[in-house]
Amino acid sequence: MSKRSNSEVGMKKDTHLTSTSVALNRRRFSLGLPLLAAGAAAPQEVVAAKAPSRDEAPIVTYYRTKTIDGIKIFYREAGPANALVVLLLHGFPTSSHMFRNLIPELADRYHVIAPDYPGYGQSDMPDRATFSYTFDRFGELVDGLLDALGVKRYAMYVMDYGAPVGWRLALKHPERITALIVQNGNAYEEGLKEFWDPIKAYWSDHSQEHRKALHVLVAPETTKFQYTDGVADVSRVDPDNWVHDQALLDRPGNAEIQMDLFYDYRTNLPLYPQVQAYFRKHQPPTLIVWGKNDKIFPADGAYPYKRDLPKVEFHLIDTGHFAFEDKADEMVPLIRDFLHRKIAS
């Protein structure tokens, strides 16, 4: 204990404080776990962190809306306004709701922003006749939101649909990206396996027959499947996830929006060589935390990142598509340690 700490203990004579002064704060303990497990010297901050206090204010998440190009974009925001920014980009068929548990785990140290795309969550769902539901458009609107918020540099957590949205941001503003966290988000054709065959058939002819066949992907059983398939202990997954997502999918007109986006996903494949070139040129610090049992974006799509990012930190997690839902206890320490070393040091 430092001289200053000894002096304080001597002055206060608070035996309760003395007995608890070395207890680890839960979030800081998460940050230190990988270092301790590896036998590395733990930072002083981790070893001497104060014990949680009942008087300590909890993390507050704000639920906000900003109009970008005439579209109301909903976003969750938390953390110090002047801190380093972490942008969280959600997948299908969910929204920023998927990050509700991750946000408090990061917002003690980072300024966290998690938007909903149009047609998802609490953002506007404009008519298909007047709005193009494309990944290009989603990228433009998220970029516009960040500009409106004055965000010029940020790390990105991309998952599922969040990957093609995020890749568009990275290609447009490579200098703004401080780090990448990739969780079941594709950038290589090796990652599009059997699950994608019916979608590829729709790409081939854009027929009503193939479009109709894809409606199974917005059915309740498929929504639940995305959360439970590949999960060893389903009791760790909150069933409110698929109930929440399905309620939004069932809004009148939303299924056709999803069909439009299934068709537009084909535009992501020609971008893959550009994204891979971005990786090779800029070498953004990258963490892979990938549910290895995922049938939608299988681990076949995770391995190729190593080709272009030789320093990638690579973790296959024993779970499915929405890995964070049942493996937060494994993923949070990895994410916090990575961000601390790569952008906060």
CA distance 194 to 200: 10
Strand partners, 316: 290
CA distance 12 to 196: 65
Tokens of 334: 């990895």
Query: Helix (H) and strand (E) counts for the chain?
Result: 15, 8
- What's the DSSP call for residue 213? H
Strand partners, 87: 113, 156
- Is residue 321 flagged as an active site residue? yes
Closest by CA position to 183, among listed 70, 102, 78: 102
* Count of alpha carbons within 13 angstroms of residue 246, beta-carbon side: 16
Residues 327/279, Cβ–Cβ less than 8 Å:
no
The alpha-helical segments, DSSP class H, found in the chain are 3-12, 15-20, 26-37, 44-47, 102-106, 135-148, 162-172, 197-205, 208-213, 220-228, 240-249, 254-264, 272-282, 305-308, 324-342
Tokens of 162: 């969040």
Q: 138 — phi, psi (to 5°)?
A: -60, -45
Please identify every residue annotated as catalytic. Answer: 321
